[in-house]
């Protein structure tokens, strides 16, 4: 029986063949399995893919041949309320931006390809921390292969550009190419009807740096025009601080998270350490984070915040809002 593999499957297969890292191979194999038509004609192929995946996963678990454990440079462990990856051409100021927004101290230098490996930093915002990851330059001539996974696994992507640079169009194209390979679709951009089911919708913003060199903002306006409307643009100066406070607020807001302060009956809320949940989470989701037993035995909760009156009693299905104070009753 013919397998009738789709063009989308063939693309995933191509990515598997070209994959440079272990993690890229694993992702491509998962995509191939998801895209494979499930019928009698593909049973052998399905079994073969499962075998290959099991082998890859075992290698990751026990280290590659020779005993050395392979570390995927494209994987940065997520910390804080969410993770944004900074991508862009050489010299755009990605590292300068990381230094300005976080306590990290990456190398910043007036020559290209200064950054050689991803470097995370934690950006404080009000009472939470957001993770930013600085990365090596994206260029038409060379982009680190692991960058594909880095952008795919992040909660959001910042495309950092120097709008006064003369190769802006090429830089933008290289960044778009990387997002495409990572199957990251800017959330604001309408999805075409034939879009791949593997696309992940993420906030993708344009950060136009070096505003201090762009007197009346002409270069930034031109850059926004060529980037199109689907990317929200921020004009900043990493070195002079312009626009950074607005960006900081956006980076938390666009993660789509709420901060919840838990409170025990008769005690004051713990304002120092909010629980961070996805927007749309319920009282039950919070209870699960606090303790499994509380979640199982939850009777009701009281809420202070956006609810109609303070201390209002709600059930487990109640949807939480940012900065609610919640008292769980089990």
Q: Which residues bind Mg ion (CB under 5 A)?
A: 95, 114-115
Tell me whether strands 156-161 and 204-208 are parallel, antiparallel or unpaired. Answer: parallel
Residue choice 21, 115, 129, 143 for contact with ligand GTP (CB under 6 A) = 115
Is 210 a residue that touches ligand GTP (CB under 6 A)? Answer: yes
Among candidate residues 204, 135, 141, the one with its CA nearest the CA of residue 171: 141
- In whole angstroms, the minimum distance from the beta carbon of 301 to ligand GTP comes to 46
The answer to whether the beta carbons of residues 104 and 154 sit under 8 Å apart is no
Nearer to Mg ion, 8 or 114 (CB): 114
The label of the residue with tokens 């309408």 reads 190
Q: Which residues neighbour 317 within 8 Å (Cβ) at sequence distance 6 or greater? A: 282, 283, 284
Q: Using CB positions, name the residue nearest to ligand GTP.
A: 93
> Per CB under 6 A, which of residues 227..246 are in contact with ligand GTP?
237-239
Part in contact with ligand GTP (CB under 6 A); list of ranges 41-49, 109-117, 197-205, 266-274: 109-117
Residue choice 112, 124, 228, 280 for contact with ligand GTP (CB under 6 A) = 112
Part in contact with ligand GTP (CB under 6 A); list of ranges 5-13, 84-92, 147-155, 199-207: 84-92
Question: What is the x/- site pattern for ligand GTP, positions 123-152, by CB under 6 A?
Answer: --------------x---------------
- In whole angstroms, the minimum distance from the beta carbon of 200 to ligand GTP comes to 25
Residue choice 18, 57, 188, 212 for contact with ligand GTP (CB under 6 A) = 212
Euclidean distance between CA atoms 187 and 84, whole angstroms: 14
Structure tokens at 15: 């990515």
- Reduce the DSSP state of residue 25 to 3 states and report it: helix
- In whole angstroms, the minimum distance from the beta carbon of 157 to Mg ion comes to 16
The answer to whether the beta carbons of residues 151 and 87 sit under 8 Å apart is yes
* DSSP character string of 163-213: TTSTTHHHHHHHHHHHHHHTTEEETTSPPPTT--TT-EEE-EEEEE--GGG
Interface residues with ligand GTP (CB under 6 A) are 88, 90-96, 108-110, 112-115, 137, 209-210, 212-213, 237-239
């Amino acid at each position: 029986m013919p397998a009738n593999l789709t063009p989308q499957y063939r693309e995933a297969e191509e990515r598997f063949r070209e994959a440079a890292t272990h993690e890229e191979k694993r992702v491509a194999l998962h995509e191939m399995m998801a895209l494979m038509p499930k019928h009698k004609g593909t049973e052998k192929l399905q079994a073969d893919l499962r075998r290959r995946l099991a082998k890859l996963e075992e290698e990751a678990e026990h280290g590659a041949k020779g005993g050395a454990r392979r570390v995927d440079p494209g994987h940065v462990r997520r910390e804080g309320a969410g993770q944004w990856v900074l991508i862009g051409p050489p010299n755009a100021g990605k590292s300068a931006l990381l230094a300005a927004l976080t306590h990290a101290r990456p190398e910043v230098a007036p020559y290209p390809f200064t950054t050689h490996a991803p470097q995370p930093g934690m950006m404080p915002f009000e009472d939470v921390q957001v993770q930013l990851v600085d990365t090596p330059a994206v260029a038409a001539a060379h982009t680190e292969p692991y960058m594909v996974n880095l952008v795919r696994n992040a909660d959001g992507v910042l495309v950092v550009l120097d709008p006064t640079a003369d190769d802006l169009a090429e830089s933008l194209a290289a960044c778009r190419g990387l997002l495409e390979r990572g199957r990251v679709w800017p959330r604001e951009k309408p999805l075409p009807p034939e879009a791949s089911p593997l696309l992940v919708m993420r906030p993708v913003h344009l950060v136009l740096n070096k505003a201090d060199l762009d007197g009346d903002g002409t270069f930034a306006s031109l850059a926004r025009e060529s980037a199109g409307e689907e990317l929200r643009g921020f004009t900043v100066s990493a070195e002079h601080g312009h626009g950074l406070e607005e960006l900081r607020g956006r980076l938390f807001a666009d993660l789509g998270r709420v901060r919840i302060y838990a409170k025990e009956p008769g005690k004051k809320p713990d304002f120092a350490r909010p629980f961070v949940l996805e927007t749309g989470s319920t009282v039950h989701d919070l209870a699960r984070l606090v303790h499994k037993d509380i979640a199982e035995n939850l009777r009701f909760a009281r809420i202070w915040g956006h609810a109609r009156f303070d201390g209002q009693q709600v059930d487990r299905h109640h949807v939480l809002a940012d900065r609610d104070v919640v008292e769980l009753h089990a």
